Structure 1
Amino acid sequence: MLKNLLNVAGVQQLSKSEQNAVNGGKKCEYLHEPMSPFEQEAGLSLCMVRCRPSFLGIGTGSWSDWEHNVPCP
């Protein structure tokens, strides 16, 4: 199967270091923070977020610490 894939135009095999650098993505959780009256008037929407590594949408590592004042998605 690998030979079939490598025969496709423009395809090249990654080196071991390039394979290790591939990021499978991350899975994140968002929480809305309570907003001050000023933020509500300005129409700002801020969240807290924490993420962890993911492979095929399945979380594979530890959660990071919560980051505050992140724009909500």
Structure 2
Amino acid sequence: MLEKILNLDGVVLLNKKQQQAVNGGKKCETIPNVPTQFEQDFDIHTCMVRCRPSFLGIGFGSWTIEEESVLC
């Protein structure tokens, strides 16, 4: 199967350094915040976003909390 993929037009085999530089992406989730009185008054719902590195959809490593709240 690998041979078939490598024979496709435009496919390039990465060297070790290039393979190490591949970013697998991030796996993120939203966490609801406890609403402040202001948010309750104006019916605003905010969440914090936490992410961690991901490879093939599998999260690994430590979660990081993004500093700003987002609407959810």
What is the count of residue pairs matched by the alignment? Answer: 71
Residues 32 and 68 of structure 1: is their aligned pair in 2 closer, same or farther, counting only changes over 3 Å?
Answer: farther
Once the 2 structures are TM-superposed, how far is the Cα of residue 30 of structure 1 from its aligned partner?
Answer: 1.1
After TM superposition, the score normalised by the length of structure 2 is 0.67
Once the 2 structures are TM-superposed, how far is the Cα of residue 32 of structure 1 from its aligned partner?
Answer: 2.2
After TM superposition, the score normalised by the length of structure 1 is 0.66
* Structure 2 residue ranges without an equivalent (≥5): none
> What is the aligned-residue identity percentage?
51
Alignment partners' CA distance in 1, 2:41 and 2:27: 28
1:21-60 aligned at under 5 Å gives the runs: 21-33=21-33, 34-35=35-36, 37=38, 41=42, 45-60=45-60
Which residue of structure 1 lines up, in the alignment, with residue 67 of structure 2? 68
Alignment partners' CA distance in 1, 2:50 and 2:44: 20
* Structure 1 residue ranges without an equivalent (≥5): none
Residues 24 and 6 of structure 1: is their aligned pair in 2 closer, same or farther, counting only changes over 3 Å?
Answer: same
Residues 15 and 39 of structure 1: is their aligned pair in 2 closer, same or farther, counting only changes over 3 Å?
Answer: farther
Considering only aligned residues, what root-mean-square deviation do their CA atoms show, in Å? 2.6
